[in-house]
Amino acid sequence: MPTFASQLNEQIRYEFSASQQYVAVAVYYDSQSLPGLAAHFYRQAVEERNHAMMMVQYLLDADKDVVTPGIDPPQTDFADPVAPVALALAQEKRVTDQINALAALARSEGDYSSEQFMQWFIKEQIEEVATMSDLLRVVERSQDHAMDIEDYLAREQLGEEGDDPTAPHPAGSGA
Ligand SMILES: [Fe+2]
Ligand SMILES: [Fe+2]
């Protein structure tokens, strides 16, 4: 039986993998001269890294082992500008399932502080899936007019994080 702490270590690996995948997506868009999409995914990459570091800090605070993980190589080749967003949406949906499973595991262990810790991530996943679904619709609709996507991103400030006082503290961020 995996424990909450061991599964959270697994999740740290998934979050770093997501971060690296978003770097790869951003670099792809930069190479296609789509700077708005590139900027969006560079930002997402930092957010995913922060998710990993929030989990690292939580385990440190709980006096549990933290294993800094290696990760699998990200996908770097894409058929067209729609493909990376479709991949990103699938990734966010997968993470939502993982986060929900972590909350359920914490509850089954009677570990209510860990269950509480997962609440912020549950809320975050709802936003990230919604944002990525919107973006997928826009890139699909604008397939032959990539500049329309760039205009959309410039207008919408998609997925911009304001200051969120309820966000867990990422390890090493000094805040
Ligand atoms: Fe994440
Ligand atoms: Fe995410």
Q: How far apart are the C-alpha atoms of 139 and 81, rounded to whole Å?
A: 7
| Residue 161 pLDDT grade (very low, low, confident, very high; cuts 50, 70, 90) | low
pTM for the whole thing?
0.93
- Judged by its nearest atom, the ligand closest to the C-alpha of residue 14 is 1
Compute the distance from residue 96 Cα to the ligand 2 centre, in Å: 9
Is the pLDDT at 150 greater than 80? The verdict is: yes
Compute the distance from residue 121 Cα to the ligand 1 centre, in Å: 8
Compute the distance from residue 44 Cα to the ligand 1 centre, in Å: 9
- Judged by its nearest atom, the ligand closest to the C-alpha of residue 12 is 1
> DSSP secondary structure string, 122-134?
HHHHHHHHHHHHH
How far, CA to CA in Å, does 45 sit from each of 70, 145, 161? Answer: 16, 25, 13
Q: How far apart are the C-alpha atoms of 153 and 147, rounded to whole Å?
A: 10
| Residue 175 pLDDT grade (very low, low, confident, very high; cuts 50, 70, 90) | low
